[in-house]
Structure 1
Amino acid sequence: MLRTHLSLATIPNRYAFIDKIAHCGDRHDQLSLMLIDVVRFSDVTTSFGIEVGDQFLLEIANRLQGLFNHDYEFGRISGDVFGVVLPGVHSPVVLQQQFEFLIEHFKSPMYYDGHAFIADFNVGVVSKSQGEFDLTLFVSRAETALKQAKENKYENFYLLSMMDKAETGRSLALKADLQRALARNELELYFQPKVNLQTLEIVGAECLLRWNHPTDGLLFPGPLIEAAESYNMMNELGYWTLETAFKGLVDFDMQGLDITLSVNISPTQLYDTRLIANLKSLSHKYGIHLSRLELELTEDIAVSNSLMVKKQLAELHALGIKIAVDDFGKGYSNLAYIREITLDALKIDKTFVMELSDNPVNKAIIEAARVIGNAKHCEVIAEGVETIEQLHVLREIGIKTGQGYLFSKAIPSHEFVRLAHSDIIVGDSPSRRKVVAASQR
């Protein structure tokens, strides 16, 4: 029977937990260690105080322990980092499913003393399937994976294997994986709906890359993107993504869906002098007007002050392509760049949408983004909408468009078409039916 902790002090600390890792490592050939970091938890203690923060950590710990198999070992590595040892588990697919299950499980908010908190996580995992067990190296690799998850712009999950003896060898293997994935059509675009927050109609979608690995199944593409950036293949991968988005628009047109697709674009692509010509060629080849395409760039690109980037963005906009800044407000306090570039959309980072109903600062930031958007005559989109309460507050603020798990995760093309044609486009789970009912009040 799983134990419910009444105090953080009863959770095994780092040293006791490492003893558990050592014990499992000696007994099991297959073993994984998952480190789970609570994103931006320092904001909770800063806003609500240490006592409230500790209560939320205790709730997170008990939820985590209840979430995993009773054979798994659980502990607290540091202040807001927990660990789970998974004996007998090595498969990347299973580990990724565990991560997705974790994220899904924590969509519902936690409450304490009048405060609400929705937890989000960075997760780093190390796994071994054979060979001698080196405890120090095993834990170190898990911490490296967690660091990579925190730094990864594309997802909050990162997996390393003890088979990866050196980063150079690993990177070369990833390069070969990327070349094979492109050659054998192993990559696929998934689509996360953008929804009109008033009518709950799908008005567009963000394209997100997925990797159909020949042996490990459907995977997030983070390692492939890492390889593309390291080995000067980002333009090749980016072109594949753009062409597949155009193909998607053709398919959606045939299904009666007149929508815009958003594609993330890297700094490397923006510096590519062939980008404009490639987009014109794809538009002509597939008979899709460039106004149906939106390119999302991160704030670090927008703030770069590069003359070439500004020139490319101006030319893209002149062709009718929409330009959006992704994760707005996440990384930069200097907003001067907003004056300098032409924008069609600001996408509010999901961290500001979390705890929206209970954190006046987050609400004020989103209100400020709306004011900036109005002044720039550009759309403001809320990312990471996961609760009905967030939906209501965003409506009150005047945010018209959003995306997030409340409506749908990223899904394959055929599922997206079916969802877009549904009477209830936010799905049919009990929590989502409440959204529709609330919108009809």
Structure 2
Amino acid sequence: MTVSHSTLATIPNRYAFIDKIASCGERHTQLSLMLIDVVRFSDVTTSFGIEVGDQFLLEIANRLQRLFHHNIEFGRISGDVFGVVLPGIHSPVVLQQQFEYLAEHFKTPMYYDGHAFIADFNVGVVSKSQGAFDLTLFVSRAEAALKQAKENKYENFSLMSMHDKAETGRSLALKADLQRALARNELELYYQPKVDLSTLTIVGAECLLRWNHPTDGLLFPGPLIEAAESYHMMNELGYWTLESAIRGLVGFEAHGLDITLSVNISPTQLYDTKLVPTLKRLTHRYGVNMKQLELELTEDIAVSNSLMVKKQLAELRQLGIQVAVDDFGKGYSNLAYIRDLELNTLKIDKTFVMELTDNPVNKAIIEAARIIGQAKECEVIAEGVETIEQLHLLREIGIRYGQGYLFSKAIPHQSFISLAQQDIIVGDSPYRQMKAV
């Protein structure tokens, strides 16, 4: 019979749970360890307080135990990460099904003290089938799988066997390479167009960081940002990105392009007192209009109650710099802070757009974002537009702007100029042909 806990204190903690893993490893030749991370749970405790957060965690723990077979071992690895040991044979297909079953089950909201919460998860799994049991390696593989699940673009699940090569060595190499990359100009900004959905003309671009690594080739931001965080170099990397974006604006203006550039800004920079003076210095040095620059904040930072963040954002807006909230709706939105925050743009998270035709709720969420944007007199941009059908539906809803692979992936500076100039220069590219849609 599954134990139901009345308090988090009775759930085995990390040390007790690792003892249980060790015991299972000795008794079973085949077993799997599943680490289950509650996505963005800090939003709940920030918004509702620790007591409410603990009650939700307790319900999650009890529901998790009821979902799995009675002979599992269950524990709490850290604040919002739970562990499940599954003895016996578990093929990749079965483990994937377990994850899907878990995700589907938790689509039902939980309620406590007038608050509602829908849990989403990152899940990393390691499986052992034969051979000697190495507890340290087994647990570290599971943690590596969980880390990979968090980095996956479309699915928050990752499975690793004991034979898979961990990323640790490569990550360490990337950390060591970062300083060289900054010194040797290996970093590059790519630009993804923002498009007016009615006219299909390019009105702006989002800057996305790429790393031209001498041995690994073109790298996406994940490993790069991880390396910067490990070296405490996020500010250095962030200011490199801002200066490169401003230089990019100068290049676009030289080719007759009047567009707005969006740059993702890290929480570290928002807490840096040098941010505003640095932006003043850069825009003066390059002679660009600050209104052409937009800073994109993640939703959790935008809705935080930090006085420092509010002060920085107010000063940035006084300079004419625009402010956008990225991935709107992805986390647990605190609409009260969105209501009070002065911003220019709401960017609808791509998951709602990419699944627009699959569930009517996605359409309702996008419609709600449009209404919020209209009330706040700010633009609303749909991310992740990939099909003509999505384009038509977004037009029907009344979303004016979008970006996504239907128009273009992120491309280098000169390629972006060529694409944007197709509004002026007669051409026969797929983008030009699509304007007949």
Confirm or deny a common fold (TM above 0.5): yes
Residue number in structure 2 paired with 1:147? 146
Say yes or no: does 1:162 pair with 2:171.
no
Residue number in structure 2 paired with 1:78? 96
Q: Distance in 2 between matches of 1:210 and 1:427?
A: 29
Q: Could you say if the C-alpha distance between residues 415 and 124 of structure 1 is closer, same or farther in structure 2, counting changes exceeding 3 Å?
A: farther
Residue number in structure 2 paired with 1:295? 295
Residue number in structure 2 paired with 1:267? 267
Counterpart code for 2:257: L
1:436 deviates by 2.7
Residue number in structure 2 paired with 1:332? 332
Residue number in structure 2 paired with 1:255? 255
Residue number in structure 1 paired with 2:415? 415
Q: Distance in 2 between matches of 1:368 and 1:245?
A: 32
Counterpart code for 1:273: T
Counterpart code for 2:96: S
Counterpart code for 1:200: L
Q: Could you say if the C-alpha distance between residues 186 and 125 of structure 1 is closer, same or farther in structure 2, counting changes exceeding 3 Å?
A: farther
| Alignment check: 8 A CA contact 1:189 1:207 kept | yes
Say yes or no: does 1:241 pair with 2:241.
yes
Question: Where in structure 2 are the equivalents of 1:316-395 lying within 5 Å?
Answer: 316-395=316-395
1:177 deviates by 1.4
Counterpart code for 2:259: I
In the TM superposition, what whole-angstrom CA distance separates every residue of 1:171-211 from its partner, at most 9, and x where no partner exists? 55333211111011111000000000000000000000001
1:434 deviates by 7.1
Question: Where in structure 2 are the equivalents of 1:130-141 lying within 5 Å?
Answer: none
| Alignment check: 8 A CA contact 1:353 1:362 kept | yes
Say which one has the larger Rg.
2
Q: Could you say if the C-alpha distance between residues 341 and 154 of structure 1 is closer, same or farther in structure 2, counting changes exceeding 3 Å?
A: farther
Partner of 2:399, secondary structure, is coil
Counterpart code for 2:232: N
| Alignment check: 8 A CA contact 2:422 2:432 kept | no
Q: In percent, how many aligned pairs have the same letter?
A: 69
Residue number in structure 2 paired with 1:285? 285
Q: Could you say if the C-alpha distance between residues 401 and 428 of structure 1 is closer, same or farther in structure 2, counting changes exceeding 3 Å?
A: same
Partner of 1:193, secondary structure, is strand
Q: Distance in 2 between matches of 1:305 and 1:237?
A: 26
1:357 deviates by 3.1
1:304 deviates by 1.4
Partner of 1:386, secondary structure, is coil
Stretches of 4+ aligned residues off by more than 2 angstroms: 73-77, 122-126, 133-165, 169-175, 423-429, 432-437
Counterpart code for 1:436: K
1:152 deviates by 3.5
Q: Distance in 2 between matches of 1:386 and 1:138?
A: 41
1:162 deviates by 2.8
1:389 deviates by 0.7
| Alignment check: 8 A CA contact 2:290 2:320 kept | yes
Counterpart code for 2:317: H
1:123 deviates by 12
| Alignment check: 8 A CA contact 1:328 1:348 kept | yes
Q: Could you say if the C-alpha distance between residues 334 and 159 of structure 1 is closer, same or farther in structure 2, counting changes exceeding 3 Å?
A: same
Q: Could you say if the C-alpha distance between residues 76 and 332 of structure 1 is closer, same or farther in structure 2, counting changes exceeding 3 Å?
A: same
Question: Where in structure 2 are the equivalents of 1:106-121 lying within 5 Å?
Answer: none
| Alignment check: 8 A CA contact 1:198 1:395 kept | yes
1:155 deviates by 8.8
What residue ranges of structure 2 are gaps of 5+ in the alignment? 1-38, 40-90, 101-121, 127-131
1:302 deviates by 1.1
Residue number in structure 1 paired with 2:23? none
TM-score (normalizing by structure 2): 0.65
| Alignment check: 8 A CA contact 1:292 1:321 kept | yes
Counterpart code for 2:387: T
Q: Distance in 1 between matches of 2:393 and 2:177?
A: 44
Partner of 1:332, secondary structure, is coil
Q: Distance in 2 between matches of 1:318 and 1:366?
A: 30
In the TM superposition, what whole-angstrom CA distance separates every residue of 1:295-345 from its partner, at most 9, and x where no partner exists? 000011012100010010011011000000000000013211112211000
In the TM superposition, what whole-angstrom CA distance separates every residue of 1:212-254 from its partner, at most 9, and x where no partner exists? 0001211112112012123221000000000000110111111
**Range that drifts further, 397-406 or 327-336:** 327-336
Aligned residues: 318
In the TM superposition, what whole-angstrom CA distance separates every residue of 1:127-149 from its partner, at most 9, and x where no partner exists? xxxxxx99999997775555324
| Alignment check: 8 A CA contact 1:154 1:222 kept | no
Q: Distance in 1 between matches of 2:260 and 2:92?
A: 45
Counterpart code for 2:165: M
Q: Could you say if the C-alpha distance between residues 142 and 260 of structure 1 is closer, same or farther in structure 2, counting changes exceeding 3 Å?
A: farther
Partner of 1:336, secondary structure, is helix
Residue number in structure 1 paired with 2:401? 401
Q: Distance in 1 between matches of 2:197 and 2:274?
A: 37
Partner of 2:195, secondary structure, is strand
| Alignment check: 8 A CA contact 1:347 1:380 kept | yes
Residue number in structure 2 paired with 1:205? 205
TM-score (normalizing by structure 1): 0.64
RMSD over aligned CA atoms reads 3.6
Counterpart code for 2:312: Q
